[in-house]
């Protein structure tokens, strides 16, 4: 399926939120290839700007992920820019839409690296897109092009041969799925089935579940797939029937919010009353919105939901980073990028935008640690200089040649009172009777 690519939608560069622009803030867009400022050696850096590039889903059934991740990042970058930037340089994010499709993401990356000459790649969304882009980073290794903090927990950007070109902040799908399997196992739910997207993302999660079960001598009892890009209006009855036949104790979904919401809806309607888990990538708020808005007796669709998260709950204001996130999101209320043409109502807070915020905060820290003049070649050293950094969450962040993932912790959330809250007691909620 052809999606909007750079050629159609065109890029947009944002150092501004809508509110900031309206209030007469600093100028925003960066147009065309960047000229190197005097005394600055690196591509994508001038005396006044760091230009980062991203390709993400800003259209189609997964656009909510790209938009929320972007908004979270822009809340922090806007904050930094208003304080004078990093070493006097503002952070500018050049965005392209790939619609969560691999081919456009490859084209967009070509544009970002070869035409726009961005300093680094930041905040990509999705496994099928990132896995297709990774070989390009190897191709561009003499240019020192690195990918920072993609919104995917898949293994390809964590392992050879491409792991050396990417830095991750979030926990992996392997960690998320292992946590889910272990917790289900602990409450007597041993028969695990998997519903997954028929692509690299789904396979990554499937492999994680398989590996976690294998450690316990178990196997996946049933599996069903769906096509990437499936909408909420599609039926998932056949998939539910396939999994029902396997009589699972729990189902782990590895998908995006539209398809997973459709699966949960049809599973409940067809009487599959077992816990249904989703990974962090699903986009919890968008999932919840689909399952509750306009649905009769919507609690039946959310009672058995459990979503793993790679960031703490944005409701937990005891966490410093969450407080900062909520404050800056409220202050700047970042608008979706200009290239978004489909209607979308942003969430005041979300797990995805919190992840984008933390990504941006750590990115800023890496940029601060660059030597003068900043160059791409100096990026790896700057990242490895991050040791025991307090991002404001419950764990300290460190990087090194053998440690290219910042956070390790996985959180679990359930729906209570129409919102996702931290799951405190698996036994009380999901014990098999």
Parallel, antiparallel, or unpaired: how do β-strands 222-226 and 419-422 relate? unpaired
Q: Which is closer to other proteins, CB of 131 or CB of 313?
A: 131
Taking the complex as a whole, the smallest distance from the CB of residue 430 to other proteins amounts, in Å, to 25
Taking the complex as a whole, the smallest distance from the CB of residue 155 to other proteins amounts, in Å, to 6
In 89-164, beta strands by DSSP E: 90-97, 120-122, 147-148
Q: How far is CA 337 from CA 342, 352, 372, 420, in A?
A: 11, 16, 31, 26
Taking the complex as a whole, the smallest distance from the CB of residue 242 to other proteins amounts, in Å, to 5
Taking the complex as a whole, the smallest distance from the CB of residue 107 to other proteins amounts, in Å, to 15
Q: Which is closer to other proteins, CB of 206 or CB of 430?
A: 206
Neighbours of 138 (CB within 10 A): 12
Taking the complex as a whole, the smallest distance from the CB of residue 103 to other proteins amounts, in Å, to 9
Taking the complex as a whole, the smallest distance from the CB of residue 189 to other proteins amounts, in Å, to 21
Q: Which is closer to other proteins, CB of 237 or CB of 289?
A: 237
Q: Which is closer to other proteins, CB of 159 or CB of 215?
A: 159
Q: Which residues pair with residue 91 across a beta bridge?
A: 50
Q: Which is closer to other proteins, CB of 172 or CB of 413?
A: 172
Q: Which is closer to other proteins, CB of 41 or CB of 207?
A: 207
Taking the complex as a whole, the smallest distance from the CB of residue 196 to other proteins amounts, in Å, to 10
Residue 101 CA neighbour count, 13 Å, CB half: 18
Terminal CA-CA length for the chain: 45
Task: Please give the structure tokens belonging to residue 387.
Answer: 């040791």
Task: Please give the structure tokens belonging to residue 116.
Answer: 């726009």
Taking the complex as a whole, the smallest distance from the CB of residue 211 to other proteins amounts, in Å, to 8
Q: Which residues make Cβ contacts (< 8 Å) with residue 124, sequence separation at least 6?
A: 54, 55, 56, 105, 130, 133, 147, 150, 151, 152
Parallel, antiparallel, or unpaired: how do β-strands 222-226 and 192-197 relate? parallel
Distance CA 329, CA 8 (A): 30
Q: Which is closer to other proteins, CB of 100 or CB of 325?
A: 100
Q: How far is CA 122 from CA 103, 279, 344, 345, in A?
A: 18, 21, 23, 24
Q: Which is closer to other proteins, CB of 128 or CB of 334?
A: 128
Q: Which is closer to other proteins, CB of 90 or CB of 174?
A: 174
Distance CA 401, CA 381 (A): 10
Name the residues that contact other proteins, by CB under 8 A. Answer: 102, 127-128, 131-132, 154-156, 159-160, 198-204, 206-207, 223-227, 238-239, 242
Taking the complex as a whole, the smallest distance from the CB of residue 272 to other proteins amounts, in Å, to 15
SS (HEC) of 310-327: CCCCCCCCCCHHHHHHHH
Taking the complex as a whole, the smallest distance from the CB of residue 425 to other proteins amounts, in Å, to 33
| Burial classification of residue 399, based on how many CB atoms lie within 10 Å of its CB (0-12 exposed, 13-18 middle, 19 or more buried) | buried
Q: Percentage helix, strand, coil, to 5, in the chain?
A: 40, 15, 45
Q: Which is closer to other proteins, CB of 82 or CB of 237?
A: 237
Q: Which residues pair with residue 56 across a beta bridge?
A: 97
């Amino acid at each position: 399926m052809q999606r909007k690519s750079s050629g159609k939608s065109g890029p947009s560069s944002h150092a501004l939120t809508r509110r900031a622009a309206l209030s007469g803030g600093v100028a925003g867009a960066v147009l065309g290839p960047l000229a190197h400022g005097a005394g600055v050696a690196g591509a994508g850096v001038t005396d006044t700007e760091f230009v980062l590039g991203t390709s993400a889903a800003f259209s189609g059934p997964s656009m909510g992920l790209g938009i929320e991740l972007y908004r979270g990042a822009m809340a922090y970058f806007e904050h930094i820019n208003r304080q004078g930037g990093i070493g006097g340089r503002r952070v500018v994010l050049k965005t392209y839409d790939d619609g969560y499709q691999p081919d456009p993401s490859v084209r967009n990356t070509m544009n970002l690296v070869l035409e726009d000459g961005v300093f680094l790649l930041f905040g990509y969304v999705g496994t099928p897109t990132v896995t297709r882009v990774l070989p390009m980073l190897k191709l561009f290794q003499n240019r020192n092009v690195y990918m920072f903090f993609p919104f995917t927990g898949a293994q390809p950007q964590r392992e050879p041969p491409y792991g050396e070109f990417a830095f991750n902040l979030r926990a992996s799908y392997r960690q998320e799925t292992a946590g889910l399997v272990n917790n289900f196992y602990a409450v007597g739910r041993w028969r695990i089935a998997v519903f997954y997207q028929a692509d690299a993302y789904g396979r990554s999660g499937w492999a994680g579940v398989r590996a976690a079960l294998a450690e316990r001598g178990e196997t996946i009892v049933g599996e069903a797939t769906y096509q990437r890009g499936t909408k909420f209006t599609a039926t998932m009855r056949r998939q539910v029937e396939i999994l029902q036949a396997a009589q699972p104790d729990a189902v782990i979904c590895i998908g995006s919010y539209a398809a997973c919401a459709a699966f949960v809806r049809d599973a409940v309607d067809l009487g599959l009353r077992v816990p249904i888990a989703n990974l962090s990538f699903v986009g919890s708020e968008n999932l919840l919105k689909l399952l509750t808005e306009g649905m009769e007796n919507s609690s039946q669709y959310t009672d058995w939901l459990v979503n793993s998260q790679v960031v703490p709950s944005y409701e937990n204001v005891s966490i410093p980073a969450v407080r900062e996130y909520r404050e800056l999101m409220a202050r700047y209320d970042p608008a979706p990028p200009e290239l978004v043409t489909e209607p979308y109502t942003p969430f005041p807070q979300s797990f995805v935008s919190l992840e984008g915020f933390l990504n941006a905060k750590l990115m800023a820290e890496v940029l601060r640690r660059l030597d003068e003049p900043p160059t791409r070649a100096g990026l790896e050293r700057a990242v490895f200089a991050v040791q025991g950094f307090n991002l404001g969450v419950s764990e300290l962040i460190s990087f090194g040649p053998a440690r290219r993932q910042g956070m390790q912790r996985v959180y679990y959330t359930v729906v209570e009172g129409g919102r996702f809250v931290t799951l405190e007691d698996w036994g009380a909620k999901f014990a098999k009777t």
